[in-house]
């Protein structure tokens, strides 16, 4: 944060604690809008920089500092989303949203939305935990920037369409249409039925079959049209294109177990869902997120880009279990299970 010089700016800010308390909300919002924790943190930093670039008199004149910060952060995100497609075209291989460790996804939100929130159909609402899982973020990335911002602000963070309109610079009616279009994308992507087996059990069985390089067992866990997408960002080896079809995916993962010796697979919560982390010499080198439908794995996203694994290497959070509780074991494995060493990695 930068502070301008001069007597006016040197005066203590009586609202400092209230302003800083908005940080979690801003990180929450920016991450869902951008799919990148690193970029979200940059957005929040820039938002605070703009706040303190104003004079003390200008800041005192702001009726709702939290609303001002949200508006500025949202507009910065909207600008970034507008240039994201061009950046992705230069990205090496597939781009996957930055994965969050367990414990980082439950950091608040605008519960209830206040008196100005619209009484939208509850069936069209999504909860904060739903909006953080990898499958959801991947669908968000297919939306236009305006659709994404309108949808996240209204359906997830409970802002009224009149508030959304003031943020994105469109009419309330236009914002309502944007959110409706985004909702159709979400409905199309959601599983038709609830999983027949707990996702954690399916992911654990996948881990065991992968460690054993058991192609037949992997095939029983994968949907016929399963897809595996790797994101190395051109910084580490990874498949440049998604691997498609259960047999290809099974053989691909079985083959990875011979690629690097001494890799350990750990069960972890990834974006609020059961996932896996591959570690080499205690350092996380890959994070895998899964989409489970019925009792089969439909999608696997493996993030190997080291720039996206920073939170996994700094121990910033305590792993959270699928039921939302915090694991007190030293390695943070799901249900406290002990993970054994494996001889491979992802990519």
Q: In the structure, what pLDDT confidence band is assigned to residue 318 with cuts at 50, 70 and 90?
A: very low
DSSP letter at 130 equals G
139 and 253 fall within a common domain: no
Query: Does residue 297 or residue 111 have the better pLDDT?
Result: 297
Mean of all residue pLDDT scores within the chain: 81
156 and 276 fall within a common domain: no
- Asked if residue 31 belongs to a domain, the reply is yes
59 and 174 fall within a common domain: yes
183 and 216 fall within a common domain: no
Length of the chain: 347
pLDDT per position as a tens digit, 159-172: 999 999 999 999 99
209 and 323 fall within a common domain: yes
Phi, psi of 108 (to 5 degrees): 80, -170
Q: In the structure, what pLDDT confidence band is assigned to residue 84 with cuts at 50, 70 and 90?
A: confident
| pLDDT surpassing 50 at residue 295 | yes
SS3 content of the chain, % helix, strand, coil (to 5): 45, 15, 40
Based on the structure, what is the number of domains in the chain? 2
Average pLDDT in the 168-196 region? 86
Q: In the structure, what pLDDT confidence band is assigned to residue 112 with cuts at 50, 70 and 90?
A: very low
**pTM across the whole model:** 0.80
- Asked if residue 295 belongs to a domain, the reply is yes
Nearest in space to 128 (alpha carbons), one of 115, 114, 111, 116: 111
DSSP H stretches of helix in 115-273: 134-140, 145-151, 161-168, 172-189, 199-211, 215-221, 246-256
DSSP letter at 126 equals -
- Asked if residue 7 belongs to a domain, the reply is no
Query: Does residue 14 or residue 183 have the better pLDDT?
Result: 183
162 and 235 fall within a common domain: no
Average pLDDT in the 243-251 region? 97
Please identify, among 166, 189, 212, the residue that sits at the C-terminal boundary of a domain: 189
* pLDDT for 127: 65
Average pLDDT in the 115-121 region? 44
Structural domain range at position 36: 16-189
CA dihedral 102, 268, 282, 212 (to 10 degrees): -170
81 and 164 fall within a common domain: yes
- Asked if residue 313 belongs to a domain, the reply is yes
Please identify, among 189, 222, 251, the residue that sits at the C-terminal boundary of a domain: 189
Query: Which percentage of the chain shows pLDDT scores above 70?
Result: 76
332 and 289 fall within a common domain: yes
* pLDDT for 315: 56
| pLDDT surpassing 50 at residue 324 | no
| pLDDT surpassing 80 at residue 16 | no
138 and 229 fall within a common domain: no
Please identify, among 138, 156, 189, the residue that sits at the C-terminal boundary of a domain: 189
Tokens standing for 103? Answer: 């414990």
Q: In the structure, what pLDDT confidence band is assigned to residue 342 with cuts at 50, 70 and 90?
A: very low
Gap between the Cα atoms of 287 and 292, Å rounded: 16
> 294: domain CATH number?
3.10.450.50
| pLDDT surpassing 70 at residue 31 | yes
* pLDDT for 345: 45
- Asked if residue 45 belongs to a domain, the reply is yes
In this structure, of 51-60, 88-97, 300-309, the range with the lowest mean pLDDT score is 88-97
- Asked if residue 271 belongs to a domain, the reply is yes
pLDDT per position as a tens digit, 123-166: 445 666 778 899 999 999 999 999 999 999 999 999 999 999 99
* pLDDT for 15: 63
Which whole-number Å values give the CA distances from 144 to 8, 74, 252, in the listed order?
42, 14, 33
3 state DSSP class of 175: helix
315 and 171 fall within a common domain: no
79 and 43 fall within a common domain: yes
214 and 154 fall within a common domain: no
* pLDDT for 338: 28
- Asked if residue 194 belongs to a domain, the reply is no
| pLDDT surpassing 80 at residue 117 | no
Gap between the Cα atoms of 313 and 278, Å rounded: 12
Average pLDDT in the 198-221 region? 96
- Asked if residue 224 belongs to a domain, the reply is yes
């Amino acid at each position: 944060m930068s502070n301008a010089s001069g007597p006016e700016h040197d005066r203590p800010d009586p609202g400092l604690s209230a302003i800083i308390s908005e940080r979690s909300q801003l990180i929450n919002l920016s991450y869902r809008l951008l799919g990148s924790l690193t970029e979200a943190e940059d957005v929040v930093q820039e938002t605070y920089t703009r706040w303190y670039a104003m004079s003390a008199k200008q800041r005192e004149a702001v009726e709702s500092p939290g609303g001002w910060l949200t508006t500025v952060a949202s507009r910065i995100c909207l600008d970034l989303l507008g240039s994201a497609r061009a950046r992705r075209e230069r990205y090496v291989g597939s781009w996957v949203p930055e994965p969050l460790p367990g414990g980082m996804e439950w950091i608040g939100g605008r519960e209830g939305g206040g008196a100005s929130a619209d009484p939208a159909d509850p069936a069209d609402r999504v909860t904060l935990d739903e909006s953080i899982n990898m499958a959801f973020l991947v669908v968000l990335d297919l939306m236009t920037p305006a659709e994404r911002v309108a949808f996240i602000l209204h359906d997830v963070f409970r802002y009224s369409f009149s508030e959304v309109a003031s943020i994105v610079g469109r009419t309330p009616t236009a914002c309502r249409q944007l959110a409706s279009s985004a909702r159709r994308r979400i409905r199309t992507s959601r599983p038709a039925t609830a999983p027949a087996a707990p996702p954690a059990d399916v992911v654990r069985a996948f881990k065991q079959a992968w460690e054993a390089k058991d192609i037949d067992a992997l095939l029983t866990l994968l949907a016929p049209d399963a897809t595996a997408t790797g994101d190395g960002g051109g910084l580490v080896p990874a498949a440049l294109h998604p691997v498609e079809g259960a047999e290809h995916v099974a053989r691909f993962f079985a083959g990875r177990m011979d690629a690097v010796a001494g890799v350990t697979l750990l069960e972890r919560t990834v974006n609020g869902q059961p996932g896996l982390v591959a570690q080499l010499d205690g350092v996380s080198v890959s994070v895998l997120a899964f989409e489970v439908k019925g009792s089969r794995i439909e999608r696997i996203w493996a993030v190997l880009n080291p720039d996206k694994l920073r939170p996994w290497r700094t121990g910033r959070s305590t792993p959270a279990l699928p039921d939302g509780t915090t694991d007190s074991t030293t390695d943070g494995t799901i249900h406290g299970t002990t993970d054994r060493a494996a001889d491979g990695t992802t990519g």
